[in-house]
Chains A and B, each alone.
Chain A
């Protein structure tokens, strides 16, 4: 009798939760987007005024290029001026600085500049015979800039509501058999995130972290559903990733130090990869694991962070002459190592990320096209000559014809997706978890089966939000480094979830890569949070808005 009553309560709760979780998710993401994409007016930190009265430019970005090219911020369309003559940078610490980037000689107060020079107010700058002065910026319309961003406490409450509902769903699913880890970890996550929010006083685009916590919640839910004993590990990994996230945030405040760390990060990554190649262990087909005591980690996940760090640091300043050879060499080492480990899916992610970074650095479409052609040839070779890859390709687009063997994972994923419908079966109620790699490579299936298509779309739309955010923050960020790193990270996320989602649903060949934050795996979780720091930085490391 009591059992029946409990079952009734449980069923009814799940019935409601199926609709409430997607509804709250949509609301939560809308609020996040609203908060993230509300930009104040850019401050005018200085003005460039031509001595002949021809030029009057308000400096509103941390880096402004001066030259004849159309792409320059300060365009001086006179034949004697270089296409890209100089770049004027502004930093709250050291003020203005001019760096020569073209063939013109640059004079500050009639003194020729050797490489770069710091600027004072009222300095006269001459480039290609054109002279202008640096004058103090003018305060803009006070009314519009005084707008104080509202603290997104409501958004955080929504997030917590979602987490509590999912936890309750899991409690109802497991009932008395629930692993003690699950409630402990969920409550710790809620407590941890609120501590963090309060510590940060809800300031500074905190919605990025909120989205991170939202995604982590689904990661924990997937772990709780498929492998309850891994929930604690998953939580600890998220905490570690969070620490990297916070440290990175502090580091990025000092852009010079960040740049100096580049060779060390690259070196460390290469050493880790070499260690992996020689002392790695094989788990689930690929030899991309190393063991430290009883803990196994996947270096290829962690090195994603290093990869973007090194790649973005290639272009320290706009139009700096540094070539990309160092980064291309580093990419080749990473890619080669991954192929040796037979982790072709991850190699593909690295490759796509490299293309984005190279394009962001050089704008060279030919270079990108060349690399893509090269990769296509490599892909054909791999497909032809690596038996297990060839095997996977033979079932591609025919998964249902091989439902018992080569298409087993994909067909089970699609069955799970079909079963879940729009609203899912309820947290923990899925069946996909018994299929190999369900909680990692096929995690989109678990999301759809247990939380429904709408929730799954909410989860993946987070990554689209990151991409648009990186793009929208670019004009106001302090350094090209942040812009490149954020775009590369968002690109990496999108490529990775494409391989994950479309691979498991037979729209692409199954490559076996994880979904950031959501797939069960410690290294993946740490890397996801670490990478999130790049997205965070592009929005945070901006010129201070006026009158906050």
Chain B
């Protein structure tokens, strides 16, 4: 039987090939099984392509933003809240790719490699967010039908209290959902806070100011002349007023274009780029693992006139609201940015906490001293220009911007800042597209949201 035994060894080859095939399959499984299981045709999770097996999404107070009831995904019963938190929560079809329904699908369905989509209760994991539904609703109300975004976060802990993006729609209104899918509301699936970018306009003067404070020992006493504008490279940069000889504090409060265009040119392209990048321009940002659009600042080998415009937040500058909010928060937090986060806690249905959100400190952006000086200057802006009475009870530090977005179009109103309040350490960014004047339109929105936040959080 020796001969037979030798020949029978072919079974080793056959079995070996088979086992190798299975090994390859198992490797592919470990890499790809999540994509397989979360494919929208999987009826364990989706019904007619719409997500159903998923846990609750709640705001910071436990208010349910979305949950599955009787095999159906339902949102908050208040339409205003539904619309305000749509981009945070996400739609049912996954069109809003940055919404939790899409980006936290694994966590919501409870999917993992070991358990697949099995869930003891059939409902996956719950996500508690740091959002406050009422503050979000207030922000939506304040935007008053205009497109734009409002972001508010705690600059000490990183908790995002408010994140609203418009246009939005009511997911529970079938007609509106259809219209959204048909593209009737342009850009409705984009969360502008994360995926949008805007011309920063005069709010960028904060960056130029920071660069000046660190670069020139006489930053406060530096004088430039404003003749209702200034001529650079043979081109006229006009100013809102005729400020004459003006210094930093007043120039920032009055947002003097002549001052900052000359200052930017004096600082030069290297220093301006260095500070823009300190503030997060050209850097990648993400929130809860969801990548944001990268901001843009590039003055390499440009003419002085371009550098001047860039120093005032125009030219090719683009800020992303998340990045901008983080930078503003860093000023408030003594120069150290705290990364914003929205996913606070992921718990199984049995109450087991799978993941805890935490805002981690980024690397120092500015010295504590510079941050303190910027804080004072921004507080001064409110005092002498925006009017403390417009922000009752809020110790506000802010900068407005009226961002030119092209010939013949109403500028975007941009308003950024923070509260100098240990008990309510909030930073915010407001953009109202086509809103017009930054301080009046943006400021009104900011006040409405911050008042709501103050009511809810203290």
* Contacts from A to B (Cβ < 8 Å): 11, 15, 18, 61-65, 71-73, 318-319, 356, 359-360, 363, 400, 403, 411-412, 414-415, 417-426, 431, 449, 452-453, 457, 460, 463-464, 467-468, 470-471, 474-477, 480, 483-484, 487, 490-491, 494-495, 497-498, 501-502, 505, 507
Contact = CB atoms under 8 A, between A and B. Distances in A.
Contact of B3 (A363, A467, A507): A363
**Residue among A18, A319, A463, A494 with the highest chain B CB neighbour number at 10 A:** A494
**Residue among A61, A359, A423, A471 with the highest chain B CB neighbour number at 10 A:** A471
Contacts of B28: 505, 507
Interface string B106-131: 00000011111110110000000000
A72 B12 contact: no
B14 interface: yes
B19 interface: yes
Interface stretch (B29-37, B323-331, B332-340, B407-415): B29-37
**Residue among B15, B21, B38, B42 with the highest chain A CB neighbour number at 10 A:** B15
B1 interface: yes
A420 B120 CA distance: 13
B182 interface: no
B349 to A, nearest CB: 11
10 contacts: A11-B120, A73-B1, A360-B7, A412-B41, A418-B38, A421-B112, A468-B15, A470-B11, A491-B11, A498-B18
Contact of B5 (A475, A498, A502): A475
Nearest to A352: B14
A15 B114 CA distance: 13
B14 A507 contact: no
Contacts of B38: 418
A62 B1 contact: yes
A501 B25 contact: yes
B6 interface: yes
B1 A475 contact: yes
| Interface of chain A, main secondary structure | helix
Given A15-B120, A431-B43, A494-B15, A356 B10 contact: yes
Given A73-B1, A419-B42, A457-B26, 6 more contacts: A360-B7, A417-B29, A453-B26, A468-B11, A468-B15, A470-B8
A73 B37 CA distance: 56
Contacts of A421: 33, 37, 112-118
A318 B4 CA distance: 8
A18 B119 CA distance: 12
B9 interface: yes
A491 B24 CA distance: 20
Interface residues of B, number: 45
Contact of B44 (A400, A431, A491): A431
A424 B118 contact: yes
B186 interface: no
B2 A65 contact: yes
B5 A474 contact: yes
B236 interface: no
A348 B117 CA distance: 36
A264 to B, nearest CB: 26
Contacts of A359: 7, 10
A464 B19 contact: yes
Contacts of B115: 421-423
A18 B118 contact: yes
B220 interface: no
A366 to B, nearest CB: 15
Given A411-B41, A498-B21, A487 B11 contact: yes
B10 A487 contact: yes
A62 to B, nearest CB: 7
A497 B43 CA distance: 27
Interface string B72-106: 00000000000000000000000000000000000
A65 B32 CA distance: 53
A507 B25 contact: yes
A411 B29 contact: no
A411 B35 CA distance: 11
A352 to B, nearest CB: 9
A460 B1 contact: no
Interface string B32-66: 11111111011110000000000000000000000
B37 A491 contact: no
Contacts of A494: 14-15, 18
B22 interface: yes
A418 B31 CA distance: 11
A494 B18 CA distance: 7
**Residue among A415, A468, A495, A505 with the highest chain B CB neighbour number at 10 A:** A415
Contacts of B114: 421-423
B303 to A, nearest CB: 50
A315 to B, nearest CB: 9
B36 A417 contact: yes
B39 A403 contact: yes
B3 A414 contact: no
A460 B22 contact: yes
Given A73-B1, A411-B39, A471-B8, A417 B118 contact: no
Contacts of B42: 415, 418-419, 431
Given A467-B11, A507-B25, A415 B1 contact: no
**Residue among B4, B34, B35 with the highest chain A CB neighbour number at 10 A:** B4
A507 B116 contact: no
A505 B28 CA distance: 10
B2 A415 contact: no
Contacts of B1: 61-64, 73, 318, 474-477, 480, 483
A507 B23 CA distance: 12
Contact of B6 (A18, A71, A400): A71
Interface string B238-263: 00000000000000000000000000
A62 B36 CA distance: 53
A203 B114 CA distance: 39
A505 to B, nearest CB: 6
B18 A403 contact: no
A229 B129 CA distance: 48
A444 to B, nearest CB: 9
A174 B12 CA distance: 43
A422 B112 CA distance: 10
A11 B7 contact: no
Nearest to A444: B25
Given A73-B1, A507-B21, A420 B11 contact: no
Contacts of A480: 1, 4
Contacts of A424: 116, 118
A137 to B, nearest CB: 16
Contact of B2 (A71, A356, A360, A487): A71
B116 A419 contact: yes
Contact of B33 (A418, A423, A470, A501): A418
